[in-house]
Amino acid sequence: MTEQRTFLDTAKRVIRAEAAALERLESVLDDSLSQAVDLLLNAKGRIIVSGMGKSGHIGRKIAATFASTGTPAHFVHPAEASHGDLGMLAQGDVVLVLSNSGETPELSDIIAYTRRFQIPLIGVASKAGSTLIKQSDVGLVLPEVAEACGTGIVPTSSTTMTLALGDALAVALMQHRNFTPARFHDFHPGGKLGARLMTVKDLMHVGAEMPLVATSGQMPQVLIEISQKAFGVVGVLDDHSRLAGIITDGDLRRHMDGLLEYKAGEVMTPNPATIQPLALAEEALSLMNDRKITCLFVCDLERAGEPVGVLHIHDCLRAGLG
């Protein structure tokens, strides 16, 4: 039990140390961060991220975050760069190089290449007087803090700060570009996250699959439409092809006496809940759950309320929502 307690105390100490490092980082951020964001925003090409060792691992994650949030980016290993991969850098790119010391030997070729061909360079290091910071167009200097390992030899606090700084750059770019959840889904079509970011348009039934009748339609026609389309509901259109109402099983039961003598417009429930095609499917599922309904008609406001699709709750469940 004592040994386990020691492990827990160590874990908490590490987290406190890294949290303190992040607070220190926040306190020293200055206009150089804004300058770095401006460089990245104005890149005509891609963001090239590079770093050696643990900084390289952090760099790969930063490049992936850039790429998944609307900023084309990839990671170039500095050692591979010295053996041909410098050809991946081009005019219009911006290079982001990470090195805690700022003196990592393997970075010399990629730094020299950016200077020779006037490719903007953003350097991240903990020493303001280091070669990397001096050679950079914009230098982002990390505060010198104790590594959380306690010995000062294992990159812990320093890599946490570098990762957070990369996230800060990525989110700043993302917000400037008004990067939407729908756009995020374009880069994340698979898995649970992809399902949550699907739009109604991705799942809805369109065209002849939609159960629709006119307000003047006779009830025998309505019953046939409900049975054939199997949504348990039918949309009722006015003379301008706009959704005027819906007819559900409940509406049929309420008009059971003389049902076949009615017209659709006399039985329908007017002004039903609808949703737009670009709304998230998760929003549609929430609306159906709140209203205790199983189906939503999809109406495009640009088409004056004309239904463009229909969505059933089972469509959302099959997509992995709920």
pLDDT digits (tens, 9 = 90+) for 106-127: 999 999 999 999 999 999 999 9
Q: Which DSSP helix (H) or strand (E) runs through 299?
A: strand 295-300
Distance CA 191, CA 151 (A): 40
pLDDT at 274 over 60: yes
What lies within 8 Å, CB to CB, of 315 at 6+ separation is: 203, 204, 205, 281
**Does residue 296 sit in helix, strand or coil?**
strand
**pLDDT: is 303 or 290 the higher one?**
290
What's the length of the chain?
A: 322
Q: What pLDDT score does 161 carry? A: 97
Distance CA 307, CA 294 (A): 17
Domains of the chain (ranges plus CATH)? Answer: 2-179 (3.40.50.10490), 200-318 (3.10.580.10)
DSSP annotation of 301 reads G
Helices (H), the chain: 2-28, 31-41, 54-68, 78-81, 108-116, 131-135, 157-176, 181-187, 191-196, 200-203, 219-229, 249-254, 264-267, 281-291, 313-318
Asked if 305 and 299 count as a contact pair (C-beta separation under 8 A), the reply is: yes
Asked if 212 and 231 count as a contact pair (C-beta separation under 8 A), the reply is: no
Mean pLDDT, the chain, rounded, equals 90
Q: What pLDDT score does 121 carry? A: 97
> Beta-carbon neighbour count of residue 196 at 10 Å?
17
Q: What pLDDT score does 188 carry? A: 52
pLDDT at 182 over 60: no
pLDDT at 196 over 90: no
Q: What pLDDT score does 120 carry? A: 97
Cα Rg of the chain, angstroms: 29
Share of the chain above pLDDT 90, in %: 69
